[in-house]
Amino acid sequence: MLRIFKRSLNSGKGIWSNFSNRSETLKVQNIKPHAATYHSPLLIDDAFKSAYEILQQESEKIYQRAQTVEKDDLKDKLLSQAESKNPEVLYNIQNGNDLDITQPVYRNHLKKQWENYDLMILMQRLEQFKVIPDTLPTIQPTVDVKVKFPHITNGEFNRWIVPGEFLPSFLTKQPPTIKLQQFDNYKNESKLFSIVLINPDEPNLETNSFKTTLNFGVSNLSLSLTDDSLDVTKYLKYENGSEEFSMFKSYEPILPEVNAGDYQRACLFVFEQPEKINVDQINAEDFDIRSFVNNYNLSPVGGTMWRQKYDRSVNDVRSEYGLSKGRVFHRVRKPFPLI
Amino acid sequence: MFSVNSITKGLQKTSITQVRTATKRAAGSRTNKNDSAGRRLGPKVFEGNFVSPGQIIMRQRGTKIHPGENCGIGKDHTIFALEPGFVKFYYDPFHPLRKYVGVALKKDYTLPKDHFDPRLRRFGYVEITDEAEALKEESRMSRKEYLQQAELTKKKQMRAHHDQALSTTFQEQLSQFVELSDDEATLAIERLVNNYKLIRLDHSIEDANQQSTFNYILSLKSLLANNKITQEELTTLKEKYIKLAEKLDRDVTVDFSTKQLTKYLNSEQRSALRNDIKEKLNGFKNKVISSEDKKHIEQLISTPLAFNKVERADLTSDYLPSVLPESVEETVFDPEKGIPEGGKVITKYDNTLRKTIKIGRTKEAFLNQL
């Protein structure tokens, strides 16, 4: 690892030493002062030096090619390729430093990392818990959506939630911080998003079936690569009237009733909007997400889910939101057919 | 000459008698006799018939028919209904070689459903209308939950006790930083306690401040929802609180390690403080460290608002390692020339010499024993 600091010792003239057009974040960051000492094999430094020169020359060629390319996605791919073998970049990636998402090389790395784990987990949970097709027919996420509840003072829940896990009601009583990590926003533009949180497991006693409730709805939320989350700062701004987005349904937590099924699914979806929309006449008590998506011409780009069941904190949260006491169901499921 | 007739006559006269030789009897009569009665296999209900949960739809050997929607299968491949509804036999495009039987929850509902359509689901639970019974059902606990109660209560009490202790310390110290009326002080202390809890979980000071404000606004909204205050009162209380928060945040914050109030520093001031401390710490690099120095270094590292938990741990391992590096010459001696009091001889592998060597370290080298 120490070898990468010899950037200046190698001619110092190559593209990887030139930071006039390249971002400073491509430099090695956060060097650990007491990194384990590494004793390099004999003569490896010379070999490293020549390898470095070759890779650097290749990188330079790719940069030149990238200048001639018009298409955004191809250009982004080339720019990422040009830095993908830079030892400094690799050091930053390996050491888990905060990576600069605006740099194609880091963005592509994060995308790959997301696709190889988090996306797989998400799709598994969405399919196994039948979120798709119970809500939307299907979804192909392109945006990494992460959720956490920052108000909590209990260390156990001070983290991003894993899709599908059971969350207690005292945790979900406040609107979550939602982070949208875009990967194909090549020019770091602001894009408009809508977010909905729905519960498809609300009992409907009239039909002896279920209905979907809308628990949170936000539209016209402008986010970019760097400004990527809906958090307390934005909620506060909204409360103070200097709104940056519109809220067509203020947050109301999912509060399962006693014995109302095994669990209720909180499904959070993120949609990209083609233009600003004005959402009105929403039936939050019996919400139809498919027609909502059609009506406003939205394209689903990401989502996440968690599960909730009745716990001892439900009643407190109910009273906080001024809701009446929840229904209590008999714990044995009866064989009455669907109406 | 013999005529043909005489030969045939002769043959007619000789009768052919069958001879049994000593061979094994013909086999096969032993197992074939054991025929059992029919097992009454086959469908028990037919297309469109109504079934209740648990009702058997099909008895079979092997899976002639597979269990489809709302159906289960037993250990002898008996297919039974899981939900009340109407029996439908169908093919599933995902498994073109199988026959399925399913239970449609509605008579006119066809199976299989379209892959992308939402499922039709039955709720099936009945509301308890009797209030006393409902209360009883609601307070019913599983054994696990019941056994956890003692610990949960204890933890709750401990948290309350801890919060109380924090509030008392903050109350004593608050007047050193800002002048507030009694009502304001109560709110301020509540805010600072919450801030402390958030900062302890690695929230930044500014984030914690915002979260506490948001908490208060939500608590006001909760009061409004319960008709305890009016909309106008909410607005005035909110404005009042935001002003108080601004005043408070400008002057005072909490140090997470000592749980004491301290003067607020903005991010630039904090980074200046950090650089200043690092510079001071560098003065102790490659030197013998006395026990006073050690205390001083510890104090510098734990300066309020300067470093978070991880940074503190990093700095401690850098500036107060358990054993000083060998670059501090005063702590190294040649073991062949005698060992000073408290000194230790350490055997280690030298990479450049490629052999094990012995190095003497004086007692000052061992910071963990200071």
Compute the mean pLDDT over every residue in chain B, rounded to the nearest whole number: 90
**Cβ atoms B78, B42 nearer than 8 A:** no
Distance from CA of B41 to the nearest CA of A (A): 27
* Position A193 in a domain: yes
- pLDDT number for residue A242: 85
**Which residue among A130, A205, A235 sits closest to B119, beta carbon to beta carbon?**
A130
Residues in chain B with CB shorter than 8 Å from the CB of A168 are: none
At A11, the pLDDT band (50, 70, 90 cuts) reads: low
Residue B297 has pLDDT above 80, yes or no: yes
Q: What are phi and psi of B75, to 5 degrees?
A: -75, -20
- pLDDT number for residue A164: 96
**Cβ atoms A311, A257 nearer than 8 A:** no
Per-residue pLDDT, averaged over A124-134, amounts to 96
At B334, the pLDDT band (50, 70, 90 cuts) reads: confident
Residues in chain A: 339
| Residues A207-239 as b or e (16 or more Cβ within 10 Å = b) | ebbbbbbbbbbbbbbebbbeebbbbbbbbbebb
Residue A2 has pLDDT above 60, yes or no: no
- pLDDT number for residue B116: 95
- Report the share of chain A in percent with pLDDT over 70: 94
Per-residue pLDDT, averaged over B143-160, amounts to 96
Residue A174, classified by CB atoms within 10 Å of its CB into exposed (0-12), middle (13-18) or buried (19+), is buried
Residue B21 has pLDDT above 80, yes or no: no
User: Looking at this protein, which amino acid is placed at residue A126?
Assistant: L
Rounded Cα distance, A196 and A215, in Å: 8
Q: Are A174 and B126 within 8 A, CB to CB?
A: no
Residues in chain A with CB shorter than 8 Å from the CB of B217 are: 236, 239
- pLDDT number for residue B341: 84
Count Cβ atoms below 10 Å from residue A255 Cβ, excluding itself.
22
Distance spanning both ends of chain A, measured CA to CA: 69
Distance from CA of B28 to the nearest CA of A (A): 53
Residues A259 and A169 reside in one and the same domain = yes
- pLDDT number for residue A14: 83
Structure tokens at A47: 């070999």
Q: Are B106 and A239 within 8 A, CB to CB?
A: no
Residues A233 and A191 reside in one and the same domain = yes
**Cβ atoms A16, A86 nearer than 8 A:** yes
Structure tokens at A59: 């990188």
* Position A244 in a domain: yes
* Position A27 in a domain: yes
Rounded Cα distance, A314 and A66, in Å: 56
Interface test with B, best of A40, A202, A211, A232 (most B CBs within 10 A): A232
* Position A302 in a domain: yes
**Which residue among A150, A239, A331 sits closest to B137, beta carbon to beta carbon?**
A331
Residues in chain A with CB shorter than 8 Å from the CB of B198 are: 150, 153
B121-135, B162-176, B313-327: the lowest-pLDDT one: B313-327
- pLDDT number for residue B34: 76
Residues A299 and A218 reside in one and the same domain = yes
Q: pLDDT per residue over B336-348, tens digit each?
A: 888 888 888 989 8
Rounded Cα distance, A77 and A73, in Å: 6
- Is B42-104 CATH 1.50.40.10? no
**Cβ atoms B112, B68 nearer than 8 A:** yes
- pLDDT number for residue B9: 54
Q: pLDDT per residue over A48-77, tens digit each?
A: 888 999 999 999 999 999 999 999 999 999
Residue A4 has pLDDT above 50, yes or no: no
- Report the share of chain B in percent with pLDDT over 90: 67
Residues A203 and A266 reside in one and the same domain = yes
**Cβ atoms A303, A160 nearer than 8 A:** no
Spell out the domain ranges in chain B: 42-104, 156-263, 267-319, 329-369
Residue B94 has pLDDT above 90, yes or no: yes
Rounded Cα distance, A135 and A143, in Å: 19
CA-nearest residue to B106 within chain A is: A338
| Residues B287-311 as b or e (16 or more Cβ within 10 Å = b) | eebeeebbebbeebbebbbbbeeee
Interface test with B, best of A131, A202, A247, A258 (most B CBs within 10 A): A258
**Which residue among B134, B197, B213 sits closest to A153, beta carbon to beta carbon?**
B197
Rounded Cα distance, B344 and B24, in Å: 98
Name which of A127, A311, A120, A160 is nearest B148 in CA terms: A311
Residue A199 has pLDDT above 90, yes or no: yes
Residue B359, classified by CB atoms within 10 Å of its CB into exposed (0-12), middle (13-18) or buried (19+), is middle
**Cβ atoms B101, B65 nearer than 8 A:** yes
- pLDDT number for residue B24: 63
Name which of A81, A91, A1 is nearest A48 in CA terms: A1
Structure tokens at A242: 């200097």
* Position A334 in a domain: no
Rounded Cα distance, A260 and B128, in Å: 11
* Residues β-bridged to residue A180: A145
Question: What is the predicted ipTM?
Answer: 0.91
* Position A325 in a domain: no
- pLDDT number for residue B136: 96
- Report the share of chain B in percent with pLDDT over 70: 92
Look up the domain containing A287 and give its range: 130-320
Which helix (H) or strand (E) segment holds residue A61: the answer is helix A44-68
Number of domains into which chain A is organized: 2
**Cβ atoms A249, A215 nearer than 8 A:** yes
Distance from CA of B135 to the nearest CA of A (A): 8
Structure tokens at A271: 């949609």
Tell me the count of A-B CB pairs closer than 8 A: 122
Residues A182 and A273 reside in one and the same domain = yes
Structure tokens at A239: 């409360």
Helix ranges, B230-359 (H): 231-251, 267-282, 291-301, 309-319
Name which of B222, B358, B187, B333 is nearest A319 in CA terms: B222
- pLDDT number for residue A36: 54
Q: What are phi and psi of A247, to 5 degrees?
A: -115, 110
* Position A327 in a domain: no
Residues A292 and A172 reside in one and the same domain = yes
At A33, the pLDDT band (50, 70, 90 cuts) reads: low
- pLDDT number for residue A10: 55
Q: Which residues contact B251 (CB under 8 A, 6 or more apart)?
A: B177, B178, B263, B264
Residue B159 has pLDDT above 50, yes or no: yes
* Position A335 in a domain: no
